[in-house]
Amino acid sequence: MKKLLLITAVFCFVLSGFTQENESKDYKMYELMYIKPRTDKLKELNEALAHHNKTYHNEGPNKVHMWYASTGPHTGDLVWAMGPLTFTDLDSRPESKEHLEDWMYNVMPNVKEVSEGEYWKLNSKLSHSPEGSFSGKEVWTVYDIKPYESYRFTAIIEKVVEVYKKKEYENYFTVFESQFNGNDTRDVAIGFGFKNWAFFDKESTFKKDFEEIHGEGSWFKLMEEYRDVVNSSFEEVSEYMPEISGGSDK
């Protein structure tokens, strides 16, 4: 049994490497981690992060975007997202003595905990990003997909994003896929942008729009398929913090 598991693991690793080697290098990926502040050092942490990011992470693939998580399991944490970048870009990330010392001696004393690092690659074919749709407010839904059911989940998202595109929704819908098996419950993350909180007081027309495009009863079939392929999910609302991010834009 152990031998079979080892062979399967090696096969999956080789297949993954083959896929990455043959796909285009023109993709967008982000390095992500959660930073839990010391509650008595919030002001100091924000000042240290602002200095660090605007000094060492202010442009290009090393640019850092900071978010504040206001709901979900990481409520109160800061979200560090560096990119968009590629794996090749990681070979030239800031590694100077000054960069390391600034992080260790100015930022980290104000931090209670830092999560494991993650890499999330944008699936542009499954995403809908109208020009000017960035709003600084997002709902992230993170999915735990059942083993070997990713292709069925992809088929679900294809139908959903088709509605976004055909109905020309103003809100963006972006699909990111985890690149490593760190936390097994974080397989796919979908970001949805909204401009103001009043959006959630409006009645949703998505089910109606979905059935208009895919046919009567298609929504319930989609929900049945979703139930069969998803173990669990959770939502996280985040707000962009330009004052402590690198550079001056998003």
Per domain, the residue ranges of the chain are: 30-115, 122-239
pLDDT in tens, 81-102: 999 999 999 999 999 999 999 9
Q: Output the pTM of the full model.
A: 0.88
Q: Residue 110: name the closest of 59, 41, 25, 167 by CA.
A: 41
Residue 69: C-alpha distances to residues 77, 139, 196 (Å): 6, 10, 16
30-115 with 122-239: one CATH topology?
yes
Instruction: Tell me the pLDDT of the chain averaged across its residues.
Output: 91
Q: Report the DSSP pairing between strands 188-193 and 118-122.
A: unpaired
Q: What mean pLDDT do residues 140-145 have?
A: 97
122-239 CATH, one of 3.30.365.10, 2.40.50.140, 3.30.70.100, 1.10.1270.20: 3.30.70.100
**Distances in whole angstroms, Cα of residue 116 to Cα of each of 113, 146, 167, 174:** 10, 22, 38, 22
Cis peptide before 109 (omega within 30 of 0): no
What pLDDT sits at residue 245? 98
pLDDT of residue 66: 98
According to the model, what pLDDT value does residue 183 have? 67
**CA distances to 2, 144, 152, 217, 220 from 224, in Å:** 35, 16, 12, 11, 6
Confidence of residue 185 (pLDDT cuts 50, 70, 90): confident
Q: What is the pLDDT of residue 248?
A: 66
User: Buried b / exposed e across 94-107, counting CB within 10 Å, b at 16+?
Assistant: eeeeebeebbeebb
Q: Is the distance from CB of 222 to CB of 210 less than 8 angstroms? A: yes
Q: How far apart are CA 171 and CA 184, in angstroms?
A: 29
Q: What percent of the chain has pLDDT over 90?
A: 86
CA distance linking residue 78 with residue 2, whole number of Å: 41
Which one, of 244, 249, 241, lies nearest residue 55 by Cα? 244
Alpha helices in the chain (DSSP H): 2-22, 42-56, 97-102, 150-166, 206-214, 218-229
- Which helix (DSSP H) or strand (DSSP E) does residue 186 occupy? none
Assigned architecture for domain 30-115: 2-Layer Sandwich (3.30)
